[in-house]
Amino acid sequence: MLDFINQDKDPVTGKVMRKVRSFVLREGRLTVGQRHALETLWPRYGLERAGGQLEPEAVFGRDAPRVLEIGYGMGHSLATMAAAAPEQDFIGVEVHRPGVGALLMEIEEQRLSNLRSYCDDAVDILTLCIPDHSLSRVQLYFPDPWHKKKHHKRRIVQPEWVALVRGKLKEGGTLHMATDWEDYAQHMMAVMNQAPGFRNLAGTGQFSERPAWRPETKFERRGERLGHGVWDLLFEAV
């Protein structure tokens, strides 16, 4: 397990900078299929931070509405969305290689020409690779809640992150977040209520119904049977 405060070097001074991360990088064991997918399919469907700013038309061969999902887990939900909306292009960002391998397998099996993935830190990808005002939707589903109070600073949803996302969304684009932790839902709402350039589509301080484009997961259905809640937030860039 790696420490969740990574060390990066300043590109100008070369000094080590301590950077708070919203994730702990646990590699996990790759299945034979996932490893094979990473070795054989990544050149076709993978995107690299080293490639610099993304040129979507070159990647997808067209100019279409673009959706970015951060932290897609094993990728089934993201692949389902891409298959259901062939008129849109989807970009996933995930740090865990087993999940990336699983998504690559889904892309190949379903022959999805409208889905690509990064295997990297989402904040770095947003900053370095995603052009400003180029996204129609940013999705953040069930991120690590960092439920202990002393770890709340690790939560990805912070004012600085929201401002970064706002710069990448087109006017009228949507930031869609979902969590099954009520405390984190309230934290998200508090941050968004203070964020300039966004309008709550459900009304001030209100949570949204799950939109049709977000598939309900097995985990979510199990939670509902146990009486757990799920909170969706939909904010429009204005």
Active site positions, annotated: 144
CA distances from residue 110 to 60, 68, 121 in whole angstroms, order as listed: 16, 19, 26
Residue at token pair 């996932």: 34
CB of 192 closer than 8 Å to CB of 156 = no
Tell me which amino acid residue 207 is: F
Buried b (16+ CB within 10 A) or exposed e, 213-229: ebeebeebeeeeeeeee
Neighbours of 25 (CB within 10 A): 15
